[in-house]
Amino acid sequence: MAGDSTAGAPKRPPRLPARAGTPTARPRHAPPETARAPGPARRATPETAPGPARRATPETAPGSLRRQGATPEAGAPGQRRAEARTGPIPAQSHGPHAAEGLIRLNAATAHDAEAALLACCGSRRWAQRLAAHRPYPTLDALLAAADEASYDLSGADLDEALADETSACLPPGTPAAARTAWRAAHAEYESRFRHAFVICLDGHRPEERLNQALSAIHTRMSHPAETERAIAADELRRLARSRLSRLVTGPGHPNSPSVLV
């Protein structure tokens, strides 16, 4: 129709009514709905609360004995290692007399020290070497130095030391038959090897020593000369250790005649 002003203009389709159950259009600037967690909200605890992580301590570290309410077992490896690092140095087992004797030996003049050491072993080079290496902090250090000096003895040094040895004395009250047997055996030994019979009996009880000496002298007389010389050198080393211990820890001359008691 010529009078209609809307002729030729596109027609807007009519708006349909909203169907039941169909979501309505969301406003452009409306905030989105937040998802609601099912169930009641849990209160945050120190373990679950946000914040910087706490450094584990020995009390709270996983597996800690203290955290579990237990105490470390005595003698546990870790405890023993800690005690070994921080514990006091154990005292020497030789007693206060050893310290006093070492002080005297360390403070003696070279001449006096060599004289005292010669009473322990008849090799002059052995005594001079020990005197020159003073001071010794412990008896064990002195005995270790004596062993090294004994092992380093030359043939001439060993001859000198063996020549300084004398026959052991028998204790009072020894039966006459035992005295006769000992003297005869020792004379035979000296005739064969050209030096005194040397033996250290520190590991035997007094009542056993005479029988041990008699048994040893008869056994060793059957040795070749070189074998017996090596045995005598080691017995001399052991005797020197024993005499050094007496020199440092007790009164008296260390090389008084050896007694089988």
- Mean pLDDT comparison of 45-49, 86-90, 107-111, 207-211, highest-scoring range: 107-111
pLDDT on residue 42? 54
State how far the alpha carbon of 45 is from the alpha carbons of 36, 37, 61, in Å: 21, 19, 19
Instruction: Select the highest-mean-pLDDT range: 56-65, 91-100, 170-179, 194-203.
Output: 194-203
User: For position 214, what pLDDT does the model report?
Assistant: 93
Evaluate if residue 150 carries a pLDDT over 60: yes
pLDDT, position 134? 96
Is the pLDDT confidence value at 94 over 70? no
Question: What is the pLDDT, as a whole number, of residue 121?
Answer: 97
**Contact (CB, 8 A) for 178 and 213:** no
Domains and CATH numbers, the chain: 96-249 (1.10.3330.10)
Q: What is the pLDDT of residue 174?
A: 86
Mean pLDDT in residue range 169-197 = 92
Q: Which residue has the higher pLDDT, 70 or 229?
A: 229
Distance CA 40, CA 6 (A): 61
CB 254 within 8 A of CB 246: yes
What share of the chain in percent tops pLDDT 70?
58
pTM of this prediction?
Answer: 0.60
pLDDT over 60 at 186, yes or no = yes
Please report the pLDDT score of residue 95 as a whole number.
54
Q: Which residues contact 44 (CB under 8 A, 6 or more apart)?
A: 50
Q: Quick one: which of 121, 195, 200, 130 has its CA closest to 157? A: 121
Instruction: Give every CB contact of residue 245 below 8 A, 6+ residues apart in sequence.
Output: 94, 139, 143
* Helix, strand, coil % in the chain, rounded to nearest 5: 45, 0, 55
Confidence (pLDDT) at 167: 82
CA-CA distance, 155 to 69, in Å (whole number)? Answer: 69
pLDDT at 18 over 60: no
